Amino acid sequence: MRRPFRFVSGFAIPAFAALVAAPAQARQVEVDVSTCRAVYDVFVTLHAGTDRARVKAALDSLLATRPYQVMFAHYNRSWRPHHLPPDVFERTILSLRWPDGLRRRHFDLPRGKLGR
């Protein structure tokens, strides 16, 4: 009976007190919002009526940036390899102004286990 009490009084209570009493340290994090501004600029050019080639070029350069590559790597994992292909994402953005881009087939995914 004395051993569990020794463990609790000798180790667990001081460890818990140290964790609770330790002041929480704030961490400073830098967030790069340049990609958010860049995609906003793409939406502004879409709304302004810029021609499709210029908007597509701006969107292509945006999708080649590291934040978007990380996003595509996150969504397209080994267990869901075609969850969000970059070309589908690009066509979805372009369809906000030019809906004919989605008419050929809404999402042209490679045929796999679920391919029809």
Cβ pair 75, 51 in contact under 8 A: no
Output DSSP code: residue 80: B
Residue 55: name the closest of 46, 65, 64 by CA: 46
Could you give the number of structural domains in the chain?
Answer: 1
Note whether residue 82 is domain-resident.
yes
Note whether residue 80 is domain-resident.
yes
Q: What is the pTM of this model?
A: 0.58
Range of the domain at 67: 34-98
Between CA 77 and CA 71 the distance in angstroms is: 11
Note whether residue 87 is domain-resident.
yes
Phi, psi of 23 (to 5 degrees): -70, 140
Tell me, what's the pLDDT at 110?
56
Between CA 62 and CA 89 the distance in angstroms is: 12
For residue range 48-107, list pLDDT tens digits in order. 989 999 999 999 999 999 888 888 888 888 888 888 888 888 888 998 888 876 555 545
Note whether residue 18 is domain-resident.
no
Handedness of CA 35, 36, 37, 39 (dihedral sign): positive
